[in-house]
Structure 1
Amino acid sequence: MTPHRYFIINKPQNMVSQFVSSDEVRLLGALDFEFPEGTHAIGRLDSLSEGLLILTTNKKVTNLLFQGEVPHKRTYWVNVSHVVLPETVELLRTGIPIRVKGGGYYTTTPCEVGIIDRPAILDKHQNETQPDVPNTWLSITLTEGKYHQVRKMVREASHRCRRLIRASIEDLELGDLPPGGVREIEEEAFFRLLKIANWKSAIPSGDYL
């Protein structure tokens, strides 16, 4: 039997979070890495978003991560146009109505929001270089994940999202992994960093591909 394997990647912009698509899009298979058969993404980042994406051969990780009793924190670095005022930070932090499918509005749950310096590990990006237009970097940590939630939150706060990078899920961090980079993680460390304590009982020792 082959043990399950676990990876993180730094998904670059203009790549979808899947290996197969009927559309003409750039797929995960374009990364310079030989993934084992059965590898799939856990959760998704939209094509324009970048950063931490989990890949694994273990089909039970999705339930363990997203359907547990305790929601898991996800932190994003967000570059937005113009200067963000303290009252806007507070609005984002305490909850802001965003439009959802069907045309209604949903008020986001309280989350962690702060203004940060530009993360030093990031590569230069053309969206950040508009002349004469100031910009602000935010760190936003959520425990929920509505469709395009972060982009919608900053839009409702009257700022345009220029760049969106997922930096971490719990203690599993992007670190200095370059765009398109792949890092394999040992199984026990993978679940420890994600703060999934019951993974051994949920995954029998013989449950491999």
Structure 2
Amino acid sequence: MKDEQYYYYLIYKPFNTLTQFKGEGDTLADLYDFPKDVYPVGRLDKDSEGLLILTNDKAINHQLLHPKFKHKKEYWVQVEGEITEDALKQLRAGVTINVEKKDHFTAPAWAKRIAEPPLEKRNPPIRERKNIPTSWVSLTITEGKNRQVRKMVASVGFPCLRLVRAGIEELKVEGMKIGEVKKIAQDRLYESVFGDRKYKPQARLQKAEKRFSTDVLKPKSGIKKLGKRNFKRPEGEESRPNKPTSNNKPNRFKSGKSNKR
């Protein structure tokens, strides 16, 4: 049986493009002729831009998206107004946002003000108000709630004007053009995301599946039953008295008189 062939792509998703291959409007299918079994790892909202991984490696999807692995995703956020240090402190500590009509307190994040990053102009351009300045924030999170970054900056008083995913761990969008697609080798992706060129998430998943399978509870064929141990008591140690049997077990209640009243 042939080993499955895995494909890995990095793309700079443009603004106003859906993170899917079918639908009304612009989709990923308009960027490149991808293999049929390739799909995006996670998603970016239609009005967000930036780095997206596409692959047919299902283990990558699990390892990158499950919250317990806490993979870092960096976003460059252009906000309305001059971001303050107090607002950045709140973002670092965590803020309350609404997720599926419930309050969610975000995990601690990395937040700092940055100079305007070297990005191409967005098409269409953002809606700026001439009398209100804008500023840029680098915000790194380990969660992935719906529209989380936008909700976070809005909660501290700075609405989002433009949102670009700048990186996933050590994979960066910097240097890529809007709409660009790059094929990446498996070992390079593993090293950039997991820190190990020889990382094997598939094997790890297979082991986990076997560990929790009911089959592992069945005894293996050919295993001999264990007999009694050939245990020798050290010289000089008295042997333990035999356990009384039902016939010779002492009866504490036995007496000449009946206990019945």
> TM-score when scaled to structure 2?
0.72
Question: SS at 2:58's partner residue?
Answer: coil
Assess if the C-alpha contact under 8 Å between 1:128 and 1:135 holds in 2.
no
Deviates more, 1:187-196 or 1:133-142: 187-196
Distance 2:120 2:77 in 1: 14
Question: SS at 1:60's partner residue?
Answer: helix
Distance 1:69 1:152 in 2: 22
Assess if the C-alpha contact under 8 Å between 2:67 and 2:143 holds in 1.
no
Find 1:119's aligned residue among 114, 117, 120. 117
Distance 1:146 1:118 in 2: 26
Q: Which residue of 2 aligns with 1:207?
A: none
Distance 2:152 2:44 in 1: 16
Deviations 1:81-127 (A, max 9, x none): 0111111111111111111212x31111111000000112x012321
User: How many residues of Structure 1 are paired with residues of Structure 2 in the alignment?
Assistant: 199
- CA displacement at 1:20 relative to structure 2: 2.1
Letter of the 1:90 counterpart: K
CA gap 1:18/1:152 in 2 versus in 1, 3 angstroms: same
Q: What is the correspondence of 1:11-160 to structure 2 with a 5 Å cutoff?
A: 11-21=13-23, 24-31=24-31, 33-67=32-66, 69-102=68-101, 104-120=102-118, 122-125=119-122, 126-127=125-126, 129-160=128-159
Q: Which residue of 2 aligns with 1:161?
A: 160
- Specify which structure has the bigger relative contact order, considering alpha-carbon pairs within 8 angstroms and separated by 6 or more residues: 1
The higher radius of gyration belongs to: 2
CA gap 1:182/1:203 in 2 versus in 1, 3 angstroms: farther
Q: Percent identity?
A: 34
Question: SS at 1:178's partner residue?
Answer: coil
Deviations 1:122-158 (A, max 9, x none): 0123216542220010000001111110000111111
Letter of the 1:20 counterpart: K
Distance 2:174 2:153 in 1: 25
Assess if the C-alpha contact under 8 Å between 1:78 and 1:140 holds in 2.
yes
Letter of the 2:114 counterpart: I
- CA displacement at 1:37 relative to structure 2: 1.9
- CA displacement at 1:55 relative to structure 2: 0.5
Unpaired runs of 5+ residues, structure 2, are 207-261
> TM-score when scaled to structure 1?
0.89
Assess if the C-alpha contact under 8 Å between 1:171 and 1:195 holds in 2.
no
CA RMSD of aligned residues (A): 1.8
Deviates more, 1:42-51 or 1:131-140: 131-140
Question: SS at 1:194's partner residue?
Answer: helix
Q: Which structure dedicates a bigger proportion of its chain to strand?
A: 1
Distance 1:4 1:97 in 2: 39
Distance 2:143 2:58 in 1: 21
